[in-house]
Amino acid sequence: MRLEKIVAFGLIFMLLGGMGASAQSLQLFEGSYEELVKEASRKGKPYMVDFYTSWCGYCRKLDQTTFRDAQVVEALNNGFLVLKVNAEQGEGPRLARQFRVTGFPTMLFFDSKGNLKGKIPGYVPAQRFLGELKRYEEDVPKKEEKTELTAYFNVQKDLVDSLEAVVLAQRPENDRALEQKAFTFGQGQRSIQFREMMLEVDGDERIKRLNLQYALGARNSEMVWKLLKGLEGQLSEEEKHLYALKRFEEGDQSLALNQWLNQLGRENKNDVWLMGTKVALAIASGEQEDAKDGLKKMKKEVKKQKVEPPTFEVLEALVKGQ
């Protein structure tokens, strides 16, 4: 039994791989350069293009060190769109000629309007990279700013608090302390202590739940979604909505969150709070028509149920202001 437990935990921990080195992985833009330019313009966000080749040793070193540094990853994920381009494949040769890239790695920085602002040639360690990065952060929104959604998140605080209370009451008393401990270990990236604690834990669901709390604490968005999908059948509706809200408030606007909310919506068609979360995500993503459509459905359900969720007026004002 102990061997099986160690193997089961080991597989999950391998997936969590390297969270001690970086709280989250670098988010790369998936698409062509032209699509990147359009997305940067739509989001009002600067972008970085990293040119590399398969034979470039310093390119691999950059990926294995600088781009795994927690501060670098956080700065790039929060402030830039990032595209990696193989200079010898696909559109790479054309782009390398266009921007006169002759050595690798080379990182080019553009503002949200597509203007080339500068470049970093060759390998640079994390701290130097961060220093260089500051030169191109003119239009990077500060992490703590909620922009136009500030009022929405302030109103949602009461819902988050109530959901947390319900979820806490649902969890077995013995597991509450362990889950809080796992979350704390994640915040401090204390992987060794977490691993030692897990050796005393039995049960596949408990192992997954504790790994989820560690990933939440470490703010490893990619692993959070993998673990949530693995626990989908064991999560209550309150848990599902709570995790969606928390991911969204931390700046997650990923396809995974959108799919999660869509599925929740199918399971809870008349939940006006959930409808509000979907409308807010559409606003944050710049999907004006989806936001308007979602607000209409929410308004109809609010009238039908004769309820007055405080988020409705806030969202209505935001949609009208778009």
d(CA 182, CA 177): 9
Structure tokens at 69: 């540094």
Give the position of tokens 């061997």.
3
Structure tokens at 129: 């990279």
- With CA atoms as reference, report the closest residue to 133 among 114, 115, 120: 120
One-letter amino acid identity for 6? I
How far are the Cα atoms of 2, 5, 163, 194, 213 from residue 181, in angstroms, in the given order? 22, 19, 20, 8, 9
The full set of domains in the chain, from first to last, is 33-136 (3.40.30.10), 147-320 (1.25.40)
Residues 61-109: pLDDT tens digits?
999 999 999 989 989 998 899 999 999 999 999 999 988 888 899 999 9
Give the position of tokens 């993998």.
226
Q: Is the Cβ–Cβ distance between 214 and 16 less than 8 Å?
A: yes
Residues 262-315: pLDDT tens digits?
888 888 878 888 888 888 888 887 788 888 888 898 888 888 888 777 777 888
Structure tokens at 26: 């670098």
* Rg for the chain, CA atoms, rounded: 22
Q: Give percent of the chain above pLDDT 90.
A: 18
The CA-based angle 122-124-128, given to 5 degrees, is 140
Residues 188-210: pLDDT tens digits?
778 888 888 889 888 889 899 99
Mean residue pLDDT across the chain: 81
